[in-house]
Amino acid sequence: MFNNIVRAYIRMIRCSLTFQEQFVASQLITNRIITIKRVFNSKRIAVFFSFDGEISTTFLIRTLLSMRKKIYLPVLSTNLKSKCLLFAQYTLSTSLIFNRFNIYEPQYSMDAVIPIEDLDVVFVPLVAFDSRGYRLGMGGGFYDSTLKHWKKNQDHYIPIGIGYDFQKVPHELLSVKKWDIFLPEIITPSNHFVFR
Ligand SMILES: Nc1nc2c(c(=O)[nH]1)N(C=O)[C@@H](CNc1ccc(C(=O)N[C@@H](CCC(=O)O)C(=O)O)cc1)CN2
Ligand SMILES: Nc1ncnc2c1ncn2[C@@H]1O[C@H](COP(=O)(O)OP(=O)(O)OP(=O)(O)O)[C@@H](O)[C@H]1O
């Protein structure tokens, strides 16, 4: 019921952060992420390029690359009806282009695309989340569709939400839809929430 209000409110707040606030948060979240054993032991990690005031992932991506991790970024399907994201490899020499939402994505060839099951960690953008691990996104349903086959207790990739601390909202404010994915873990500059 309040999803659209929460989405608009949090998008407004995150777009009003100063450069300094964004910078400090991106360093803190990167330092927290790289000390997580699951991440440290991963080889193939999906991140995303931030837009719309999302917590900046530039430092995270650079740090993970320097740790010799293979990094993949989401690309929208050319089929406008498909909401499933593809993940294409990103290196420092990959050309980037804007997609239809003005988000950078790799200019990829099919051999750079990895099946989602072959990823170890998928970092997931979010607008808001609650104390149960439910996530409110931008409203396109892309991550919900892409991650819909993910199941707890299965030994494949793990989706991990990342965002600012203020994006956590009381659960009464988020109405969960039947297709909404649950995030087993969410990382912010000050916290590592585990919801399993
Ligand atoms: N950094 C990042 N990449 C991402 C996502 C994300 O949330 N963050 N996505 C997560 O799914 C996908 C893109 N989803 C999006 C869904 C809606 C809008 C959006 O701006 N909607 C506008 C109206 C856009 C229009 O139709 O022109 C709006 O709501 O104001 C943007 C991205 C894939 N890549
Ligand atoms: N697994 C699914 N099955 C059917 N419809 C879905 C599924 N996932 C998403 N959708 C559709 O996507 C639309 C947007 O969903 P929702 O508002 O939950 O997106 P969101 O999680 O905020 O966005 P995103 O995942 O792109 O960040 C819904 O109206 C729904 O029709």
Mean model confidence pLDDT for the chain: 96
Distance between Cα 52 and ligand 1 center (Å): 9
Report the share of the chain in percent with pLDDT over 90: 93
Distance between Cα 25 and ligand 2 center (Å): 28
Q: What is the CA radius of gyration of the chain?
A: 16
Q: Which of 179, 181, 182, 183 best tests ligand 2's pocket when mutated (most atoms within 8 Å of CB)?
A: 179
* Mean pLDDT, rounded, for 169-191: 95
Distance between Cα 2 and ligand 1 center (Å): 19
Q: Which residue has the higher pLDDT, 153 or 74?
A: 74
Q: Look at strands 86-90 and 70-75 and give their pairing.
A: antiparallel
pTM score of the predicted model: 0.96
Q: Which of 7, 123, 138, 147 best tests ligand 1's pocket when mutated (most atoms within 8 Å of CB)?
A: 138
Q: How confident is residue 153, by pLDDT bands cut at 50, 70 and 90? A: low
Q: Look at strands 185-187 and 192-194 and give their pairing.
A: antiparallel
Q: What is the pLDDT of residues 81-102, one digit of tens each?
A: 899 999 999 999 999 999 999 9
In angstroms, the CA 189 to CA 27 distance is 8
Q: How confident is residue 114, by pLDDT bands cut at 50, 70 and 90? A: very high
Q: What is the pLDDT of residues 9-59, one digit of tens each?
A: 999 999 999 999 999 999 999 999 999 999 999 999 999 999 999 999 999
What integer pLDDT is reported at residue 196 of this predicted model?
79
Indicate if ligand 1 lies below 6 Å from the C-beta of 87. no
What integer pLDDT is reported at residue 40 of this predicted model?
97
In angstroms, the CA 61 to CA 39 distance is 13
Q: Which of 85, 98, 101 best tests ligand 1's pocket when mutated (most atoms within 8 Å of CB)?
A: 101
Ligand 2, closest atom to CA 136?
22
